[in-house]
Amino acid sequence: MTARSSLKRQAHQHPMRIVTRRTGLSADLLRAWERRYEVVRPSRSENGRRLYSDADIERLGLLYRATLAGRGIGQLARLSTSELAALVRRDTEAERSDNGAHTPPAVAPPADHHLAYYLRDSIRAIERLDAVALETSLRRAMVALPGDALLDGLVAPLLERIGTRWRDGTLQPVHGHLASAVLRRVLDRVIETAASASASPNLVVATPAGQLHEFGAMLAAATAAAEGWRVTYLGASLPAEDIAAAAAQTRARAVALSIVYPAGDPAVGHELRRLGTLLPKEVTLVVGGAASTGYRSVLEEIGATPTSDLADFRSQLRTLRRGRQRR
Protein backbone atom coordinates (compact mmCIF):
# COMPACT_ATOMS: atom_id res chain seq x y z
CA MET A 1 0.00 0.00 0.00
CA THR A 2 1.41 3.41 -0.98
CA ALA A 3 1.76 6.29 1.49
CA ARG A 4 -0.85 8.27 -0.47
CA SER A 5 -3.44 5.48 -0.42
CA SER A 6 -2.73 4.93 3.28
CA LEU A 7 -3.37 8.60 4.03
CA LYS A 8 -6.58 8.54 1.97
CA ARG A 9 -7.74 5.43 3.80
CA GLN A 10 -7.09 7.12 7.17
CA ALA A 11 -8.94 10.27 6.05
CA HIS A 12 -12.03 8.28 5.10
CA GLN A 13 -12.62 6.52 8.37
CA HIS A 14 -16.19 7.22 9.45
CA PRO A 15 -18.99 4.70 8.71
CA MET A 16 -22.43 5.88 7.64
CA ARG A 17 -23.96 5.53 11.12
CA ILE A 18 -21.50 8.16 12.40
CA VAL A 19 -22.33 10.47 9.49
CA THR A 20 -26.08 10.26 10.05
CA ARG A 21 -25.63 10.87 13.77
CA ARG A 22 -23.40 13.94 13.27
CA THR A 23 -25.26 15.55 10.38
CA GLY A 24 -28.93 14.72 11.05
CA LEU A 25 -29.34 13.24 7.56
CA SER A 26 -31.10 9.91 7.17
CA ALA A 27 -29.15 7.09 5.53
CA ASP A 28 -31.79 6.83 2.77
CA LEU A 29 -31.52 10.48 1.82
CA LEU A 30 -27.72 10.42 2.02
CA ARG A 31 -27.60 7.53 -0.46
CA ALA A 32 -30.05 9.33 -2.75
CA TRP A 33 -27.96 12.51 -2.69
CA GLU A 34 -24.80 10.57 -3.46
CA ARG A 35 -26.45 8.62 -6.27
CA ARG A 36 -28.07 11.57 -8.01
CA TYR A 37 -25.91 14.58 -7.13
CA GLU A 38 -22.54 13.11 -6.02
CA VAL A 39 -22.53 15.50 -3.05
CA VAL A 40 -19.54 13.57 -1.61
CA ARG A 41 -17.47 10.63 -2.81
CA PRO A 42 -16.84 8.25 0.08
CA SER A 43 -14.27 5.51 -0.16
CA ARG A 44 -15.02 1.85 0.56
CA SER A 45 -13.80 -0.45 3.28
CA GLU A 46 -12.46 -3.92 2.47
CA ASN A 47 -15.99 -5.34 2.92
CA GLY A 48 -17.51 -2.66 0.65
CA ARG A 49 -18.99 -0.29 3.25
CA ARG A 50 -18.90 3.44 2.72
CA LEU A 51 -16.29 5.41 4.68
CA TYR A 52 -16.46 9.20 5.01
CA SER A 53 -13.82 11.80 5.85
CA ASP A 54 -14.14 14.70 8.28
CA ALA A 55 -14.40 16.98 5.23
CA ASP A 56 -17.28 14.87 3.90
CA ILE A 57 -19.11 15.18 7.22
CA GLU A 58 -18.56 18.94 7.30
CA ARG A 59 -19.93 19.31 3.77
CA LEU A 60 -22.94 17.09 4.45
CA GLY A 61 -23.76 19.01 7.61
CA LEU A 62 -23.72 22.27 5.67
CA LEU A 63 -25.93 20.78 2.97
CA TYR A 64 -28.38 19.64 5.65
CA ARG A 65 -28.57 23.10 7.20
CA ALA A 66 -28.93 24.80 3.82
CA THR A 67 -31.84 22.55 2.82
CA LEU A 68 -33.61 23.44 6.06
CA ALA A 69 -33.81 27.01 4.78
CA GLY A 70 -35.84 25.72 1.83
CA ARG A 71 -33.10 25.53 -0.80
CA GLY A 72 -33.05 22.69 -3.32
CA ILE A 73 -30.28 20.12 -3.15
CA GLY A 74 -29.79 20.30 -6.93
CA GLN A 75 -28.65 23.92 -6.59
CA LEU A 76 -26.61 23.34 -3.44
CA ALA A 77 -24.70 20.31 -4.72
CA ARG A 78 -22.83 22.50 -7.23
CA LEU A 79 -21.39 24.75 -4.50
CA SER A 80 -18.02 24.30 -2.85
CA THR A 81 -17.82 23.67 0.88
CA SER A 82 -16.63 27.24 1.50
CA GLU A 83 -19.54 28.61 -0.56
CA LEU A 84 -21.95 26.43 1.41
CA ALA A 85 -20.53 27.70 4.69
CA ALA A 86 -21.00 31.32 3.59
CA LEU A 87 -24.55 30.60 2.46
CA VAL A 88 -25.44 28.95 5.77
CA ARG A 89 -24.00 31.91 7.69
CA ARG A 90 -26.16 34.32 5.70
CA ASP A 91 -29.25 32.17 6.24
CA THR A 92 -28.56 32.00 9.97
CA GLU A 93 -28.15 35.76 10.23
CA ALA A 94 -31.36 36.32 8.28
CA GLU A 95 -33.26 33.94 10.57
CA ARG A 96 -31.97 35.70 13.66
CA SER A 97 -33.04 39.08 12.31
CA ASP A 98 -36.57 37.82 11.64
CA ASN A 99 -38.12 38.50 15.04
CA GLY A 100 -41.55 37.30 13.88
CA ALA A 101 -40.39 33.79 12.91
CA HIS A 102 -42.14 30.89 14.63
CA THR A 103 -39.98 28.13 13.20
CA PRO A 104 -38.12 25.88 15.64
CA PRO A 105 -34.29 25.89 15.79
CA ALA A 106 -32.41 23.79 13.21
CA VAL A 107 -31.55 21.05 15.69
CA ALA A 108 -32.77 17.49 15.22
CA PRO A 109 -34.63 15.94 18.18
CA PRO A 110 -33.37 12.75 19.83
CA ALA A 111 -33.64 9.76 17.48
CA ASP A 112 -36.14 7.86 19.61
CA HIS A 113 -38.53 10.83 19.62
CA HIS A 114 -38.35 11.79 15.92
CA LEU A 115 -41.82 10.72 14.85
CA ALA A 116 -43.70 12.02 17.90
CA TYR A 117 -41.74 15.27 17.75
CA TYR A 118 -42.43 15.96 14.09
CA LEU A 119 -46.07 14.89 14.28
CA ARG A 120 -46.71 17.14 17.28
CA ASP A 121 -44.78 20.01 15.70
CA SER A 122 -46.71 19.69 12.42
CA ILE A 123 -50.11 19.62 14.12
CA ARG A 124 -49.26 22.73 16.13
CA ALA A 125 -48.18 24.56 12.97
CA ILE A 126 -51.47 23.61 11.27
CA GLU A 127 -53.46 24.84 14.28
CA ARG A 128 -51.67 28.20 14.03
CA LEU A 129 -52.16 28.30 10.23
CA ASP A 130 -48.38 28.68 10.03
CA ALA A 131 -47.43 27.28 6.64
CA VAL A 132 -43.76 28.23 7.03
CA ALA A 133 -43.41 26.34 10.31
CA LEU A 134 -45.26 23.32 8.90
CA GLU A 135 -43.06 23.13 5.83
CA THR A 136 -39.91 23.62 7.91
CA SER A 137 -40.87 20.79 10.26
CA LEU A 138 -41.69 18.43 7.38
CA ARG A 139 -38.48 19.29 5.52
CA ARG A 140 -36.45 18.57 8.63
CA ALA A 141 -38.26 15.27 8.99
CA MET A 142 -37.45 14.53 5.35
CA VAL A 143 -33.71 14.81 5.92
CA ALA A 144 -33.69 13.19 9.37
CA LEU A 145 -35.97 10.18 8.87
CA PRO A 146 -35.65 7.08 6.68
CA GLY A 147 -38.09 7.10 3.78
CA ASP A 148 -40.44 4.49 5.22
CA ALA A 149 -40.57 6.27 8.60
CA LEU A 150 -41.26 9.61 6.94
CA LEU A 151 -44.14 8.32 4.83
CA ASP A 152 -45.63 5.54 6.99
CA GLY A 153 -44.88 7.01 10.40
CA LEU A 154 -45.37 10.75 9.84
CA VAL A 155 -47.15 11.81 6.63
CA ALA A 156 -49.83 9.09 6.62
CA PRO A 157 -50.70 9.55 10.35
CA LEU A 158 -50.68 13.33 9.88
CA LEU A 159 -53.21 13.07 7.05
CA GLU A 160 -55.35 10.76 9.16
CA ARG A 161 -55.15 13.12 12.15
CA ILE A 162 -56.16 16.10 9.99
CA GLY A 163 -59.16 14.19 8.62
CA THR A 164 -60.29 13.08 12.07
CA ARG A 165 -60.03 16.56 13.54
CA TRP A 166 -61.82 18.08 10.56
CA ARG A 167 -64.72 15.65 11.07
CA ASP A 168 -64.97 16.33 14.82
CA GLY A 169 -64.82 20.10 14.27
CA THR A 170 -61.53 20.86 16.02
CA LEU A 171 -59.97 21.86 12.69
CA GLN A 172 -61.68 23.98 10.05
CA PRO A 173 -61.57 23.52 6.27
CA VAL A 174 -59.02 26.33 6.02
CA HIS A 175 -56.61 24.30 8.16
CA GLY A 176 -57.02 21.35 5.81
CA HIS A 177 -56.39 23.49 2.74
CA LEU A 178 -53.21 24.94 4.22
CA ALA A 179 -51.92 21.50 5.23
CA SER A 180 -52.75 20.07 1.81
CA ALA A 181 -50.81 22.78 -0.01
CA VAL A 182 -47.71 22.26 2.13
CA LEU A 183 -47.87 18.45 2.05
CA ARG A 184 -48.16 18.50 -1.72
CA ARG A 185 -44.94 20.54 -1.97
CA VAL A 186 -43.11 18.28 0.46
CA LEU A 187 -44.21 15.07 -1.27
CA ASP A 188 -43.20 16.56 -4.61
CA ARG A 189 -39.77 17.18 -3.10
CA VAL A 190 -39.56 13.59 -1.83
CA ILE A 191 -40.37 12.27 -5.31
CA GLU A 192 -37.90 14.66 -6.97
CA THR A 193 -35.08 13.88 -4.54
CA ALA A 194 -35.52 10.12 -4.84
CA ALA A 195 -35.84 10.15 -8.64
CA SER A 196 -33.97 7.16 -10.08
CA ALA A 197 -31.84 6.44 -13.09
CA SER A 198 -33.24 5.60 -16.51
CA ALA A 199 -32.46 1.91 -16.00
CA SER A 200 -34.99 1.67 -13.16
CA PRO A 201 -38.44 0.14 -13.73
CA ASN A 202 -41.27 2.57 -14.51
CA LEU A 203 -44.44 3.05 -12.48
CA VAL A 204 -47.48 5.16 -13.41
CA VAL A 205 -49.47 6.52 -10.45
CA ALA A 206 -52.90 8.19 -10.55
CA THR A 207 -56.47 8.06 -9.27
CA PRO A 208 -59.22 6.85 -11.63
CA ALA A 209 -61.82 9.20 -13.09
CA GLY A 210 -64.11 10.59 -10.41
CA GLN A 211 -61.58 10.10 -7.60
CA LEU A 212 -60.52 13.59 -6.50
CA HIS A 213 -58.60 12.70 -3.32
CA GLU A 214 -55.00 12.36 -4.45
CA PHE A 215 -52.88 12.17 -1.30
CA GLY A 216 -53.01 8.39 -1.28
CA ALA A 217 -51.64 8.44 -4.82
CA MET A 218 -48.95 10.96 -3.86
CA LEU A 219 -47.89 8.76 -0.94
CA ALA A 220 -47.73 5.79 -3.31
CA ALA A 221 -45.61 7.78 -5.76
CA ALA A 222 -43.22 8.92 -3.03
CA THR A 223 -42.96 5.36 -1.68
CA ALA A 224 -42.14 4.00 -5.13
CA ALA A 225 -39.56 6.71 -5.79
CA ALA A 226 -37.87 5.93 -2.46
CA GLU A 227 -37.79 2.26 -3.53
CA GLY A 228 -35.83 3.15 -6.66
CA TRP A 229 -38.64 3.24 -9.26
CA ARG A 230 -38.99 5.87 -11.95
CA VAL A 231 -42.39 7.40 -11.23
CA THR A 232 -44.77 9.08 -13.64
CA TYR A 233 -47.30 10.83 -11.41
CA LEU A 234 -50.46 11.80 -13.30
CA GLY A 235 -52.55 13.26 -10.46
CA ALA A 236 -56.25 12.86 -9.73
CA SER A 237 -59.28 11.79 -11.77
CA LEU A 238 -57.70 10.35 -14.92
CA PRO A 239 -59.78 8.36 -17.43
CA ALA A 240 -58.67 4.81 -18.12
CA GLU A 241 -57.57 5.67 -21.66
CA ASP A 242 -55.11 8.32 -20.41
CA ILE A 243 -53.65 6.05 -17.73
CA ALA A 244 -53.18 3.23 -20.22
CA ALA A 245 -51.60 5.58 -22.77
CA ALA A 246 -49.14 6.86 -20.16
CA ALA A 247 -48.25 3.30 -19.19
CA ALA A 248 -47.61 2.41 -22.84
CA GLN A 249 -45.53 5.52 -23.56
CA THR A 250 -43.33 5.10 -20.47
CA ARG A 251 -43.13 1.30 -20.88
CA ALA A 252 -44.33 0.96 -17.31
CA ARG A 253 -43.92 -2.29 -15.47
CA ALA A 254 -46.83 -1.39 -13.19
CA VAL A 255 -49.70 1.07 -12.63
CA ALA A 256 -50.75 2.08 -9.10
CA LEU A 257 -54.19 3.56 -8.38
CA SER A 258 -55.55 5.10 -5.17
CA ILE A 259 -59.29 4.98 -4.41
CA VAL A 260 -60.35 6.88 -1.29
CA TYR A 261 -64.05 7.77 -1.61
CA PRO A 262 -66.69 6.58 -2.27
CA ALA A 263 -66.73 2.78 -2.10
CA GLY A 264 -68.89 0.87 -4.56
CA ASP A 265 -69.35 3.63 -7.15
CA PRO A 266 -70.45 1.94 -10.42
CA ALA A 267 -68.63 4.60 -12.45
CA VAL A 268 -65.33 3.79 -10.74
CA GLY A 269 -65.98 0.08 -11.29
CA HIS A 270 -66.50 0.79 -14.98
CA GLU A 271 -63.20 2.71 -15.16
CA LEU A 272 -61.35 -0.14 -13.49
CA ARG A 273 -62.77 -2.67 -15.93
CA ARG A 274 -61.90 -0.41 -18.83
CA LEU A 275 -58.32 -0.01 -17.60
CA GLY A 276 -58.03 -3.76 -17.07
CA THR A 277 -58.95 -4.20 -20.73
CA LEU A 278 -56.56 -1.53 -22.03
CA LEU A 279 -53.42 -2.46 -20.07
CA PRO A 280 -51.15 -5.12 -21.54
CA LYS A 281 -51.06 -8.34 -19.54
CA GLU A 282 -47.42 -7.79 -18.61
CA VAL A 283 -48.29 -4.53 -16.78
CA THR A 284 -49.26 -5.13 -13.16
CA LEU A 285 -52.18 -3.07 -11.84
CA VAL A 286 -51.97 -2.35 -8.09
CA VAL A 287 -54.96 -0.72 -6.36
CA GLY A 288 -55.13 0.60 -2.79
CA GLY A 289 -56.77 3.30 -0.70
CA ALA A 290 -59.45 3.54 1.97
CA ALA A 291 -62.30 2.65 -0.41
CA SER A 292 -60.48 0.07 -2.52
CA THR A 293 -61.97 -2.87 -0.60
CA GLY A 294 -65.37 -1.83 -1.93
CA TYR A 295 -64.17 -2.85 -5.41
CA ARG A 296 -62.68 -6.21 -4.47
CA SER A 297 -64.86 -8.21 -6.85
CA VAL A 298 -63.94 -5.91 -9.74
CA LEU A 299 -60.24 -6.16 -8.88
CA GLU A 300 -60.46 -9.95 -8.88
CA GLU A 301 -62.33 -9.87 -12.19
CA ILE A 302 -59.62 -7.83 -13.95
CA GLY A 303 -56.67 -9.54 -12.23
CA ALA A 304 -55.53 -6.46 -10.31
CA THR A 305 -53.45 -6.70 -7.13
CA PRO A 306 -55.00 -5.11 -4.01
CA THR A 307 -52.70 -3.45 -1.49
CA SER A 308 -53.66 -2.75 2.11
CA ASP A 309 -51.19 -0.07 3.19
CA LEU A 310 -47.85 1.51 2.33
CA ALA A 311 -45.84 -1.32 3.88
CA ASP A 312 -47.71 -3.88 1.76
CA PHE A 313 -47.30 -1.69 -1.33
CA ARG A 314 -43.57 -1.40 -0.64
CA SER A 315 -43.30 -5.18 -0.41
CA GLN A 316 -45.16 -5.60 -3.71
CA LEU A 317 -42.84 -3.11 -5.41
CA ARG A 318 -39.81 -5.07 -4.25
CA THR A 319 -41.32 -8.30 -5.58
CA LEU A 320 -42.14 -6.68 -8.91
CA ARG A 321 -38.66 -5.25 -9.20
CA ARG A 322 -37.21 -8.71 -8.78
CA GLY A 323 -39.31 -9.74 -11.76
CA ARG A 324 -41.82 -11.99 -10.00
CA GLN A 325 -44.99 -10.28 -11.17
CA ARG A 326 -48.22 -11.25 -9.50
CA ARG A 327 -50.74 -10.86 -12.28
CA distance 44 to 86: 30
pLDDT, mean of residues 178-195: 85
pLDDT given for residue 36 in this prediction: 82
Torsion over CA: 242, 244, 245, 251 (sign) = positive
166 pLDDT more than 50: yes
3 pLDDT more than 60: no
Domain boundaries defined on the chain: 3-97, 111-191, 197-321
Query: Cα–Cα–Cα angle for 177, 182, 184, nearest 5°?
Result: 95
Q: Which of 31-40, 61-70, 81-90 has the lowest mean pLDDT?
A: 61-70
pLDDT (tens digit per residue) in 131-153 = 999 998 898 888 778 888 889 98
128 pLDDT more than 50: yes
pLDDT given for residue 197 in this prediction: 62
pLDDT given for residue 11 in this prediction: 60
pLDDT given for residue 69 in this prediction: 73
CATH annotation of 3-97: 1.10.1660.10
Question: Do 217 and 243 touch, CB atoms closer than 8 A?
Answer: no
Q: Fold identical between 3-97 and 197-321?
A: no
CA-CA distances (angstroms) from residue 238 to 6, 260, 272, 274, 301? 58, 14, 11, 12, 21
Helix (H, G, I), strand (E, B) or coil at 229: coil
pLDDT (tens digit per residue) in 267-320 = 999 999 999 999 998 999 999 999 999 999 999 999 999 999 999 999 999 999
- In the chain, DSSP finds a helix count (H) and a strand count (E) of 16, 8
pLDDT given for residue 35 in this prediction: 85
pLDDT (tens digit per residue) in 280-295 = 989 999 999 999 999 9
Question: Do 272 and 304 touch, CB atoms closer than 8 A?
Answer: yes
With cut-offs at 50, 70 and 90, classify the pLDDT of residue 98.
Answer: low
Q: Which CATH class is domain 111-191?
A: mainly alpha
Could you give the percent of the chain with pLDDT greater than 70?
87
222 pLDDT more than 50: yes
| pTM listed for this prediction | 0.70
With cut-offs at 50, 70 and 90, classify the pLDDT of residue 217.
Answer: very high
For 197-321, CATH number out of 3.50.50.60, 3.30.470.10, 3.40.50.280, 3.30.450.20 equals: 3.40.50.280
Q: Which of 95-104, 112-121, 145-154, 291-300 has the lowest mean pLDDT?
A: 95-104
pLDDT given for residue 112 in this prediction: 41
190 pLDDT more than 90: no
Helix H or strand E encompassing 57: helix 54-68
CA distance 164 to 153: 17
Residue type at 260 in one-letter notation: V
